[in-house]
Chain A
Amino acid sequence: MPKTFEAGAPDEGAPDQGAADQGYAVSVHNLWKSFGEQVAVAGIDLELPAGRFIGLVGPNGAGKTTTLSMVTGLLRPDDGTVLITGHDVWTDPVAVKSRIGVLPEGLRLFERLSGRELLAYTGRLRGLPGAEVDKRAAQLLDVLDLSAAQNKLVVDYSTGMRKKIGLAAALLHNPEVLFLDEPFEGVDPVSAQVIRGVLERYTRSGATVVFSSHVMELVESLCDWVAVMAAGRIVAQGPLADVRGEASSLQDAFLSLVGATERGGQDLDWLGGAR
């Protein structure tokens, strides 16, 4: 088990590794949000370099969704600032909303539209020309393996198909930064591989992907930059190798970072015993 971590110490100073050559895609300063008594996000600072595949990891209830909602302008923070490629989310929505794509978790799509209609609707809301929207939509549906279901209502889609159509809608306007909240949750391996392929191609073009997950193996294999959240705070952030440190895997590093000890099993001595 790893004992200490030097990398990504949650100090005030922003880590500058790996981001020297590019600007920050996302920079968050002193972000706060509480729901009644419950403090969901407790003053986080986050600097995410552009052009990276970034994983936001943390246990359930760590505040990942709340953070992503505030960063994408869907939830108003109690305090703090969020800059996306240098533009303030709350004072410059025109610059920000055209530059980001979002796949939220727990929010619906307009499910009574077919997959193709949903893309046509979203693209036109984004102000893209109709013909261009239809061309991009057809290509996205094809790449994401949704062509056969394009005329089916989204309400009848499976979880994996919903994630894929949501991803297509988020990519349609070719955003600079893509925010995905649990994009692989409940997705079958085949769809997951498809989503993965699309995202890898997208980041190779210089775009930034920020996604939240609690599946460490996935984050470890996809991301080159990681931010770890626990109880509403960022406990580590930095390049994957730095955050992992000397631990054998990101999983082990994560467990010790969030303070989860080896627990459970002692009292269940009947389990696996004589039947």
Chain B
Amino acid sequence: MSAPATHPSVTPVFIRLKLAIIRNGLRQSTGRTIGWIVGVVFAMLYGLAMGVGMIALRHSEYGPAAAVGLAVVLIIGWAVMPLFLFGGDDTLDPTRLAMLPLRPRPLISALLISSLLGVGPVFTVIVTAGAVSALAGNAVSIVVAIVAVALVLLLCVALSRAVAAANTRLLTSRKGRDLALLSGLFVAVGAQLVNLGASSLASSDGLDRVKSLASVLRWLPPAPAIDAVRAATGGSYGLAVLELLYVAAVLALVIRWWHHSLYRLMVTPDASTLQAAEKEAGTGGGRLAALLPGGRTGTVMERQFRYAWRDPRSKAAWATALAVGLLLPIVAAVQHGSIYSACWAAGLLGMQMYNQFGVDGSAFWTVASTISTRADAHAELRARALALSTVAVPYVTIVTIGAALLLGRPDAVPETLGLSLALLGALIAAGAFASVRFPYALPQDNPFGSSAPGQGGLAAISLFGGGLTGAACCLPLVGLTIYLHVADHHAYLWILLPIGALYAVTLAAASLRFTAPRLLNRLPEILTAVAKG
């Protein structure tokens, strides 16, 4: 350690801190402990499978390319990880240490070594060990392999820490956390793209493309460390040493960058306390308000729309429902599936009506303290249903017509649209009731969580039970559709559109009327339930 002899090294302190954080994180609840253990087991199995898979490629001509590719995927994963998981690991946030009399150099070694503890590093070691085992041959190459694994691990961890330190200001700001939340969507979309890429690689000439890709990736650290093992096995010891030195030099640069960011972080004030840039004037009652109905209904609708755009959780939920609701019918159309898959759009959007007040969180008190009559309660529910329908009805119509055109079945538009609208109405009806009867808190600290700890059961009742109830409410219309088909009354299928629309409106209106007095009577209970997050 580079700490002066008079000061005890901080490294053991940080190692104990890291272990204590892991332990205390597990102590919070059994559910969390079980989740963590399942996660660890899954990660270890996955790592082992990948390691074994690499070893299986030992004598394959694609072995070196695969090993190099794996190293690059690892480093990208480590570099991106802090951007998503920043809130989850306190030890990643160096500003927490700013008040302590620590010098950057001993701090860096302490942080680096404590970072080596955890599931991620173990996973990395297992996978990398598999990769080098696929390439190692003679005794020298085994020595090179051991050095290579150490270098890969250190580079991954150091880069992850350096990225976190360089972006701390962004990541601890509100805007940064909002971005991180939405980035979940990009990951989902990215995963689809990777999936697409993987399936194209799996085609006949795909593996050759891997090889040509690998010849480039070979020079992207830490891949040269892996490639050094191949070089050593082949007897090119000079190249192997050069490649190892190259990766070590990059590691030194990364640590230097980290040192620089850390130093700057600890000696400059936090800019988040300064005034944020003024936003353009948003008028209290602007263009949006002019289009909305008056009274409580319009006021609540306006806030719902603002939240759909500004609140990252609402935005993510809307974006997911819209994207998946479009994607599923398109996939079905491409695979020449059923026209009824267009109902997914209505189904996913309709589910937005569930747990309306959980989305408000403890801010629901404002709603609760301004509802004093049944009419207020009715207006509140109606506004939320209307805000949802304003988006959902046109969207469902477009998706249904689009899917019908893609499938070349424009004749099926009326019945599908009728069914979709009925489903939407049924879900709004059931959702409004479930929001009042089974409200549950959304976790405030974990944007990806669907319910606060201990409320998972309630969330499941509300969502699955509610979804089933909503679907069951559509049964009369489904029955009618089947009857018209079976009895060969195809000419009358169009009546499903007006019937479906009417059914939806009637059902939703009846449910809101039924639910409104219950909302009025349950205001404190709902507040207690949703404020727990």
Q: List residues 66-95 of chain A with CB under 8 A from any CB of chain B.
A: 72-76, 93-94
Interface pick from B117-125, B275-283, B327-335: B275-283
Interface string of B493-533 (1 = CB under 8 A from A): 00000000000000000000000000010011101100100
Shortest distance from the beta carbon of B520 to any chain A beta carbon, whole Å: 8
The verdict on A108 contacting B362 (CB below 8 Å), with A97-B372, A124-B296 known, is yes
Interface SS of chain B: helix
Which A-chain residue is minimally distant from B300 (CB atoms)?
A125
Q: Is A106 within 8 A of B362, CB to CB?
A: yes
Q: Is B365 within 8 A of A104, CB to CB?
A: yes
A183 to B276, CA, bound (A): 25
Q: Is A112 within 8 A of B306, CB to CB?
A: yes
Interface string of B271-313 (1 = CB under 8 A from A): 0000010111110110000000001101110110011001100
Shortest distance from the beta carbon of B415 to any chain A beta carbon, whole Å: 40
Q: Is A109 within 8 A of B366, CB to CB?
A: yes
A64 to B432, CA, bound (A): 34
Q: Is A98 within 8 A of B372, CB to CB?
A: yes
Further pairs besides A93-B520, A97-B371, A125-B299: 18, Cβ < 8 Å:
A75-B527, A102-B365, A107-B531, A110-B307, A110-B360, A110-B363, A110-B366, A112-B311, A113-B303, A114-B279, A117-B306, A120-B284, A124-B296, A125-B366, A125-B370, A151-B280, A152-B276, A156-B276
Shortest distance from the beta carbon of B334 to any chain A beta carbon, whole Å: 37
Residue A122 lies at the interface, judged by CB distance under 8 Å to chain B: yes
Chain A contacts for B520, CB-based, 8 A? 93
Chain A contacts for B138, CB-based, 8 A? none
Q: Is A156 within 8 A of B174, CB to CB?
A: yes
Q: Is A75 within 8 A of B366, CB to CB?
A: no
Q: Is B311 within 8 A of A117, CB to CB?
A: no
Chain B contacts for A164, CB-based, 8 A? none
Q: Pick from B295, B363, B369: contact of A102, CB below 8 A.
A: B369
The verdict on A94 contacting B373 (CB below 8 Å), with A117-B284, A151-B278, A151-B281 known, is yes
A188 to B349, CA, bound (A): 45
Chain A contacts for B174, CB-based, 8 A? 155-156
A143 to B363, CA, bound (A): 24
Q: Pick from B278, B306, B362, B366: contact of A122, CB below 8 A.
A: B366
Chain B contacts for A122, CB-based, 8 A? 366, 370
Residue A178 lies at the interface, judged by CB distance under 8 Å to chain B: no
Chain A contacts for B362, CB-based, 8 A? 106-108
Residue B368 lies at the interface, judged by CB distance under 8 Å to chain A: yes
Residue A127 lies at the interface, judged by CB distance under 8 Å to chain B: yes
Chain B contacts for A126, CB-based, 8 A? 370
A152 to B278, CA, bound (A): 7
Residue A134 lies at the interface, judged by CB distance under 8 Å to chain B: yes
Residue A111 lies at the interface, judged by CB distance under 8 Å to chain B: yes
Q: Is B307 within 8 A of A117, CB to CB?
A: no
Chain B contacts for A108, CB-based, 8 A? 361-363
**Could you list 22 examples of A-B contacts with CB < 8 Å?**
A72-B369, A73-B369, A93-B372, A94-B372, A94-B373, A96-B372, A97-B370, A98-B372, A106-B362, A109-B366, A110-B363, A111-B363, A112-B306, A112-B310, A114-B282, A120-B285, A121-B302, A124-B298, A137-B284, A151-B279, A156-B276, A169-B366
Chain B contacts for A125, CB-based, 8 A? 296, 299-300, 366-367, 370
Interface size on A, residues (CB 8 A): 41
Size range of the chain B interface in the assembly: 35 or more
Q: Is A117 within 8 A of B282, CB to CB?
A: yes
Q: Is A75 within 8 A of B524, CB to CB?
A: yes
Chain B contacts for A107, CB-based, 8 A? 362-363, 365, 531
Residue A153 lies at the interface, judged by CB distance under 8 Å to chain B: yes
Shortest distance from the beta carbon of B130 to any chain A beta carbon, whole Å: 46
A175 to B365, CA, bound (A): 17
Chain A contacts for B279, CB-based, 8 A? 114, 151-153
Shortest distance from the beta carbon of B177 to any chain A beta carbon, whole Å: 10
Which B-chain residue is minimally distant from A110 (CB atoms)?
B363
Which A-chain residue is minimally distant from B279 (CB atoms)?
A151
Top 7 A-B pairs, shortest CB-CB distance:
A120-B284, A124-B299, A125-B370, A107-B362, A93-B372, A112-B310, A97-B372
Shortest distance from the beta carbon of A26 to any chain B beta carbon, whole Å: 16
Q: Is A73 within 8 A of B363, CB to CB?
A: no
Which A-chain residue is minimally distant from B272 (CB atoms)?
A156
Chain B contacts for A112, CB-based, 8 A? 306-307, 310-311
Chain B contacts for A151, CB-based, 8 A? 278-282
Q: Pick from B278, B284, B298, B528: contact of A75, CB below 8 A.
A: B528
Q: List residues 309-361 of chain B with CB under 8 A from any CB of chain A.
A: 310-311, 360-361
Chain A contacts for B299, CB-based, 8 A? 121, 124-125
Residue A206 lies at the interface, judged by CB distance under 8 Å to chain B: no
A133 to B302, CA, bound (A): 16
Chain B contacts for A186, CB-based, 8 A? none
A111 to B178, CA, bound (A): 13
Q: Pick from B284, B285, B310, B525: contact of A153, CB below 8 A.
A: B310
Chain A contacts for B280, CB-based, 8 A? 151
Chain A contacts for B310, CB-based, 8 A? 112, 153
Residue A130 lies at the interface, judged by CB distance under 8 Å to chain B: yes
Which of B284, B295, B299, B303 counts the most A-chain CB atoms under 10 A from its CB? Answer: B284
A117 to B303, CA, bound (A): 9
A110 to B280, CA, bound (A): 19
Which of A112, A121, A122, A127 counts the most B-chain CB atoms under 10 A from its CB? Answer: A112
Chain A contacts for B528, CB-based, 8 A? 75
Q: Is B365 within 8 A of A116, CB to CB?
A: no
Q: Is A74 within 8 A of B370, CB to CB?
A: no
A114 to B367, CA, bound (A): 17
A152 to B310, CA, bound (A): 12
A51 to B111, CA, bound (A): 60
A108 to B281, CA, bound (A): 23
A169 to B371, CA, bound (A): 15
Shortest distance from the beta carbon of A117 to any chain B beta carbon, whole Å: 6
A111 to B310, CA, bound (A): 10
Shortest distance from the beta carbon of A204 to any chain B beta carbon, whole Å: 25
Chain B contacts for A134, CB-based, 8 A? 284-285
A98 to B285, CA, bound (A): 23
Which B-chain residue is minimally distant from A137 (CB atoms)?
B284
A94 to B277, CA, bound (A): 42
A73 to B367, CA, bound (A): 12
Q: List residues 23-78 of chain B with CB under 8 A from any CB of chain A.
A: none
A106 to B279, CA, bound (A): 27
Which A-chain residue is minimally distant from B533 (CB atoms)?
A108
A190 to B467, CA, bound (A): 52
Which A-chain residue is minimally distant from B309 (CB atoms)?
A112
Chain A contacts for B366, CB-based, 8 A? 109-110, 122, 125, 169
Chain A contacts for B284, CB-based, 8 A? 116-117, 119-120, 133-134, 137
Q: Is A113 within 8 A of B285, CB to CB?
A: no
Shortest distance from the beta carbon of B175 to any chain A beta carbon, whole Å: 9
Chain B contacts for A113, CB-based, 8 A? 303, 306
A114 to B373, CA, bound (A): 28
Q: Is A121 within 8 A of B303, CB to CB?
A: yes
A76 to B523, CA, bound (A): 9
A137 to B520, CA, bound (A): 28
Chain A contacts for B307, CB-based, 8 A? 110, 112
Q: Is A130 within 8 A of B285, CB to CB?
A: yes
Which B-chain residue is minimally distant from A94 (CB atoms)?
B372
Which B-chain residue is minimally distant from A150 (CB atoms)?
B281
Which B-chain residue is minimally distant from A126 (CB atoms)?
B370
